[in-house]
Amino acid sequence: MEASVRRLTLDPFRGLVAQDVRIYDYKNRENTIAEISRISLDVNYAALLQRQAFLNAIDIRNAQVTLPLPEGADPKSPHAQIKN
Q: How long, in residues, is the chain?
A: 84
pTM: 0.73
Summarize pLDDT for 17-57 with one digit per residue, the tens.
999 999 998 888 888 889 999 999 999 989 999 999 999 99
User: Given pLDDT bands bounded at 50, 70 and 90, which one contains residue 79?
Assistant: low
Q: Tell whether the model's pLDDT for residue 70 goes beyond 80.
A: no
Distance (Å) of CA 73 to CA 1, 20, 64, 70, 81: 20, 30, 22, 6, 16
Find how far residue 28's CA is from the centre of its chain: 17
